[in-house]
Each structure stands twice: as structure tokens, then as C-alpha cells.
Copies of this chain bind each other. A is one copy, B any other.
Amino acid sequence: MPVTLRAIESVFIGGETRCAAGLPPVRARLSQGGEAVLHDPNGEHCVGQMYAQIYRLERPRHALPVMFWHGGGMTGANWESTPDGRPGWLWRTLEQGFDVIVCDAVERGRASWAMPALYGSEPLFRTHGEGWFMFRMGPREGYAAAPAARRPFPGQRFPVAAFESFARSWVPRWAGQEAATLDAYGSLLARVGPVLLVAHSQGGGLALAAACRHAGSIRALALLEPSGAPQDPDWPAQLPPHLVMWGDHMTDHPVWCRYRETVAQHGRAVRAHGGTWAEIDLPAEGICGNSHFPMMDDNSDALCERVLQWLAAQVSRRSPESRK
């Protein structure tokens, strides 16, 4: 279905300027046919900023935009074409009449990243084998360097034939940057909110924290396989409604068992604080074979529609009075 836009915008927001000092200059040739020049890294640099792309429809059919947060070691490209080239959730959400905001979090993708001397730590690089297991393509021993020799879970819905193409989209990550990332997301929400939030994996855990810190800017949130939850958050007077979606083979992975229990504890706390906590457990419904990336699996369109319907229903259900 064609989509008519009135604007495509982008925003760089958040973070601060810090000064690097005492680092050695480097001689490097930066241009074809140019000479080597002395490159001095000492001086002001941005640290902790993020990036968002905003797609504004000519005639949105919903009052609030949908904002997408990716997971760890990923970028906003997760919501674009699937690795096997089908339309992603960005396009489907525009088709459904929502404005869309796609984020690259601090240190990821177009948001850029700062030198280790300013971050205070080194980046981490995920191997293809680790991704294969962590993203539940198949058992750990089902990974092989040669694509033809890999053994995914039977009935796997992720387009594993396009796994190399997917791996090209992974970016390095740092540990322990949750606070900076949440701060930048807070700045973005203050500028473009309120929103309906869809967040994946690490982004899902951050969204659970943001729902407590920025409850007024997030009217409802859908969490795809959140990989963590805030510890001892400051609970707001009113929480936005939460939806959590889980794929298949969670119990085949010890780390996912732990992450899921962390999230379940948070869910109980959300309910204890009067919030709505809904869950979609796909295999429990008989929908088997989903990986850690529901927005890329072969039933991605159906799952997107379900999430968007739930989000839209949360807003239409609440009267202006109850929304305060």
C-alpha cells in the first residue's frame, strides 16, 4: 500500500561535550592522492548523543506516533527491510497510519560513539556463533562457520538463509551505558513525545525503566523479548500499559531463562503498582518457531499487526480523564 509522507526528519539529541587531553597525535593519510596529515585527537568531542529518524504522514490516522527502540549491538535498521528483503515493521506501521520514529541509541549506528578514553571502556564485538545461539537460531552446537553446515531449530521462522546478511547489520556495543542511553532517550521523548513505544531486547529493558522515569511521555509500550528490567525504580503515580511478547525456545537457553525471570519479577511489580501487564507467549498459543527477532521472522507482518492493534486499543480505551 503506498504511503504519503509530509516529512522525513532526523534529530541528533542528548549527551554532552567532553574534552580529550594528553593523547598522542597520529599521522594519517585521509584522502586519495593527499599527503599524510597530523591528526590530533585532543579537544572537544560529543559523548552520549543519539539519533532518530522521524517519518511524518500527510494524514496520520492515529494521534500518537510509534517509536522503535532496537536491542543491544543493533541499530534502527532492525525495523527496516528484513534480512531476506521483506518490508519491515517501519513500513507496516506507516501503512497502518501511524507516524514513526526510528532510533539509533547512544553508541550505535548513526548515533556515533566516543573514544575509549572518554567512555572509559572498550567495545565488545559479538561473533556470528554467539549471535546464532543468543538469538535462538538454533542450538549452540548447530552453528558452523560454513552456512550450509548450520543446523537451526526445526520450524525456525527466522530467515536463516539470510543470516550473513543479518550479521552485516550488527554493531559493536559497550557494557554499562544504560544510564547515558536512558538520559538520551529521555531528551528525545521530551522533544517528540508522547509516543507509543515498541522496544526490543536490551531496548525492552530500557523501555521498562523509561516507563517509570518518563511515564507521561510513553502512553503504552510493547516489549519484544526484553532482556532485562530496572532494579528498584522510582514508581510513578500512574504507569502506561505494558505488553510483552516472547518467542520460542526460551528454555533452551540459560541466559534467556534468567532474563525472562528478571522481567517476570518486574511484571509482578508493575501490577502491584496498579499497572497493566499483558503477555503474549507465542509457543503457548501454538505459534512455534519464533526467534529473538519477531520483526524479522516469517510471521513478522502478523505479529506487527497484533502489536499495533494492542497499542492503538490502549489509547482509544482511555478517556482523557483517565489519561491524566
Known A43-B130, A51-B77, A127-B43: A227·B31 in contact at CB below 8 Å: yes
Q: Are B130 and A165 touching (Cβ within 8 A)?
A: no
Bound-state CA distance A3–B206 (Å) is 34
Q: Are B228 and A178 touching (Cβ within 8 A)?
A: no
Bound-state CA distance A232–B233 (Å) is 62
The binding surface of chain A is classed by DSSP as mixed
Closest to A36 in B: B175
Residues of A108-163 at the interface with B, using a CB-CB cut-off of 8 Å, are: 109-110, 112-115, 122-125, 127-130, 145
A29's partner among B30, B39, B176 (CB-CB below 8 A) is B176
Taking CB atoms, residues of chain B closer than 8 Å to A28 are: 124, 175-176
In the complex, identify which listed stretch (A14-22, A237-245, A286-294, A302-310) lies at the interface while the others stay far away.
A14-22
The size of the chain A interface, using a CB distance under 8 A, is 93
Closest to A162 in B: B12
Copies of this polypeptide in the complex:
2
A186 CB within 8 Å of chain B: no
A53 CB within 8 Å of chain B: yes
Known A34-B262, A104-B110, A230-B32: A80·B10 in contact at CB below 8 Å: yes
Known A29-B175, A51-B169, A129-B43: A37·B77 in contact at CB below 8 Å: no
Closest to A182 in B: B32
Q: Are A125 and B115 touching (Cβ within 8 A)?
A: yes
Q: Are A80 and B9 touching (Cβ within 8 A)?
A: yes
Known A10-B81, A17-B167; further 19 A-B contacts with Cβ < 8 A: A2-B4, A3-B4, A4-B5, A8-B90, A9-B81, A13-B168, A15-B168, A17-B164, A29-B176, A34-B255, A34-B259, A40-B130, A43-B127, A44-B145, A104-B110, A109-B109, A110-B110, A112-B169, A115-B125
Give the top 7 A-B pairs by smallest Cβ distance, nearest first.
A43-B127, A31-B228, A12-B168, A32-B228, A28-B175, A10-B80, A44-B128
**Residues of chain A whose beta carbon lies under 8 Å from any beta carbon of chain B:** 2-13, 15, 17, 19-20, 26, 28-35, 37, 39-46, 49, 51, 53, 55, 58, 72, 75-77, 80-81, 85, 87, 90-91, 94, 104, 109-110, 112-115, 122-125, 127-130, 145, 164-173, 175-176, 178, 202, 205-206, 208-209, 227-231, 255, 258-259, 262
